[in-house]
Amino acid sequence: MAFKIPLSFPEYSDSESRYLQQAVKSGQLTTNGAFINKFENKLSKKLRTHQAVVLNSGTSALHLALVLLGVGQGDEVICQSFTFCASANPVVYLGATPIFVDSEEETWNISPEILEDAILSRIAMGKKPKAIICVHLFGMPAKMQEIMEISEKYQIPVIEDAAEAVGSKFNGSYCGTFGKVGIFSFNGNKIITSGGGGALISGDAALIEKSKYLSTQAREDLPYYQHLEIGYNYRMTNMAAAVGLAQLERLEEMVTKRQWVNERYKELMVSLPGITFQENNHSSESNFWLTSILIDEETTGFSNDRLRVLLLKNGIETRFLWKPLHLQPIYRQAPFYGGNISESLFSKGLCLPSSVSLTFEDQEWIVGLIEKEFRKVL
């Protein structure tokens, strides 16, 4: 079904098609070409302390990150439970086990306290986790200061899944630049897109070199094909990089516009009782990729699902928050630390349409429909 108002729709200018044409004309369509280098350089320059390798998805970036940190058969990796399945699936690709950790209420991301409990518990059981995957959900930075303190205390590297948080900042620095490795996604519905794609970022130049090598089938620099390691076909194509570069040039604009969308929702809904927002704290600056709300049914008289259906009938797409991975059938067997925070957020939450192209009138209409639902209840 085509929505009148989709959840998150990409926005293109003239540059995307211009760069794409240049890429095609250059004859370099695959994993060699000027746009790949330009995209990486532009990204690295923006991040300042970190270098980037562009890949064919955020999921492959996570997979490579785990490979680079030496995760293998039988290992354990701690992962935020409240996230998309792609945060944890690569752990399973490698024959390792994800250990899920609950969220805290302020940012909706991994709880530093429960993270430390989980680490201590696994160590007591004789197995020190090989890595910690934290996520910046819907663009909202996780509590990176506490998380990095724990990472240093126990000497366990952090992988930041910043798939949804390109352009978000924590204490003035970009999300993705705190952990040993960070990853971004440029999938079609993310804040900027290359059609499909991702990036692995790190402050460690050796890891960056190794990523380039592993993502292109681990080919030795010889006149014939010789392989000393198992590699992957994970590099971004020059065509995708052409689109990605054009989008990256407008990242600030995209972030600002999504932040406006979030501000306007908050203003329009300020007087609606029982509806709260995922909000920044003093150290975080979310890109507000998706504006997300919680509905307290006892106050509103209606559930998140009732609102979803009501808006759907009007051609407006919304989405539940991610269903916590410890509640997913595929991860029933995986250990979980925590209580019911992420479960409760999931049961109350809804992501609202948040495209850059959303107009004020669109938002007034959406909020008007929500208000009507209140009147029915009252």
Ligand X SMILES: *Cc1c(COP(=O)(O)O)cnc(C)c1O
Least distance in Å: CB of 43 to ligand X? 15
Min dist CB 258 to ligand X, Å, is: 15
Taking alpha carbons only, the member of 286, 294, 279 closest to residue 352 is: 294
Q: Which residues, other chains included, contact 280 with Cβ-Cβ below 8 Å and sequence gap of 6+?
A: 140, 286
> Rounded to an integer, what distance in angstroms lies between the CA atom of residue 66 and that of residue 71?
5
Strands 198-202 and 349-351: unpaired
Please state whether beta strands 336-337 and 284-285 pair in parallel, antiparallel, or not at all (unpaired). unpaired
**Radius of gyration of the chain, Cα coordinates, nearest whole angstrom:** 21
Identity of the residue numbered 67: V
* Stretch binding ligand X (CB under 6 A), from 51-59, 118-126, 250-258, 356-364: 51-59
- Could you tell me how many residues of this chain bind ligand X (CB under 6 A)? 14
Q: Which is nearer to ligand X, 10 or 58 (CB)?
A: 58
269 versus 351: smaller Cβ distance to ligand X: 351
- Nearest CA among 118, 178, 106 for reference residue 149: 178
- With binding defined as CB under 6 A, does residue 187 bind ligand X? yes
Bridge partners of residue 351, in order along the sequence = 292, 319
| Cβ proximity of 290 and 322 under 8 Å | no
Q: Which of 8, 31, 59, 300 binds ligand X (CB under 6 A)?
A: 59
Query: Shortest approach of ligand X to residue 370 CB, angstroms?
Result: 25
Helix axes 360-377, 304-313, angle to 10 degrees: 130
Write the DSSP string, 162-211: -TT-TT-EETTEETTSSSSEEEEE--TTSSS-SSS-EEEEES-HHHHHHH
Return the number of the residue (87 or 342) whose C-beta is nearest ligand X.
87
Choose, by CB under 6 A, the member of 16, 40, 102, 164 that binds ligand X: 164
Q: Which residue has the tokens 């009148």?
A: 4
Is residue 116 involved in binding ligand X (CB under 6 A)?
A: no
The two structure tokens encoding residue 229 = 């390691």
148 scored as a contact of ligand X (CB under 6 A): no
304 binds ligand X (CB under 6 A): no
In the complex, minimum distance from the CB of residue 7 to ligand X, in angstroms, rounded to a whole number: 13
Closer to ligand X by Cβ: residue 102 or 164: 164
> How far is the C-alpha of 129 from the C-alpha of 267, rounded, in Å?
44
Choices 23-31, 56-64, 200-208, 368-376; region in contact with ligand X by CB under 6 A: 56-64
Q: Which is nearer to ligand X, 40 or 161 (CB)?
A: 161
For the CB of residue 27, give the shortest distance to ligand X in the complex, in Å: 27
> Shortest Cβ distance from residue 273 to ligand X (Å)?
31
Q: Out of 31, 111, 168, 185, name the contact with ligand X by CB under 6 A.
A: 185
Of 77-96, which residues contact ligand X (CB under 6 A)?
Answer: 83-84, 86-87
DSSP state, residue 357 = T
Site for ligand X, residues 117 to 146, rule: CB under 6 A? 135
Q: CB-wise, 187 or 259, nearer to ligand X?
A: 187
161 is a contact residue toward ligand X (CB under 6 A): yes
Residue 142 CB-density burial (10 A; 0-12 exposed, 13-18 middle, 19+ buried): buried
CA dist 250 to 191, 192, 201, 262, Å?
10, 8, 20, 19
Shortest distance, position 373 Cβ to ligand X, whole Å: 29
Selected binder of ligand X within 58, 98, 141, 167 (CB under 6 A): 58
Which residues in this chain contact ligand X in the complex, by CB under 6 A? 57-59, 83-84, 86-87, 135, 161, 163-164, 185, 187, 198
